[in-house]
Amino acid sequence: MRTNVRFHFLDSLRGFAVMGILLVNAADIMNLGQNAEVQLHRQIPLVENALYYLVSTRFVPIFCFMFGMSMGFIIDSASRRGDPAWKTLLRRLTVLLAIGALNSILYPSEVLRSYAIGGAIMLPFVLKLKRSVLLLLGLLATAGAYAVMGGGEASIPGLFLLVSRVVSLFLVGIW
């Protein structure tokens, strides 16, 4: 029987993404600048624009990627134990939705609810489709979300599909 394997690099990457999300959203969370005057058609400086695209917008996709990988690990773990993976994941997604709902009282822009809802919607696909189909659908959905919406919450379903079963298989195969 296989023992549980921890991927410390993935734990570190998850922590990096969470800390980055907190850093990027710190001003919004603390309501800094809430009384600032809105400037319509403001010219955004090149450095601010570069920081936004190279730093600020990178943490949520990393965290989303990690979330999808966790789904794959949970599915693998449940199947090794002989438990129905859908029950385990649905229970976890329900708890995540509850935490997100409570968190949204303090911070309305939180994303945990979107992860829970996106994960629940993608769950049947993740559990039933072949890995190659998940990879293709994930690539198409993620590319489409970035092309049409610029990423953000629209990229959650595609990233879940992309990594939920494909990357976890790759990592388990390596280690």
Q: What is the 3-state secondary structure (H, E, C) of 57-106?
A: CCHHHHHHHHHHHHHHHHHHHHHHHCCCHHHHHHHHHHHHHHHHHHHHHH
% the chain with pLDDT above 70: 75
Q: Which of 59-63, 68-72, 167-171 has the highest mean pLDDT?
A: 68-72
Asked if pLDDT for residue 175 goes beyond 50, the answer is no
Q: Which two tokens mark 162?
A: 């992309």
Average pLDDT across the chain, whole number: 78
- Segment 124-130 mean pLDDT: 89
Q: Which two tokens mark 158?
A: 């595609």
102 vs 25, higher pLDDT:
102
The whole-number pLDDT of residue 18 equals 77
Distances (CA, A) of 152 to 34, 39, 64, 146: 22, 23, 10, 8
Q: What does the pLDDT look like over 34-62, one tens digit per residue?
A: 565 656 666 767 777 777 666 666 777 77
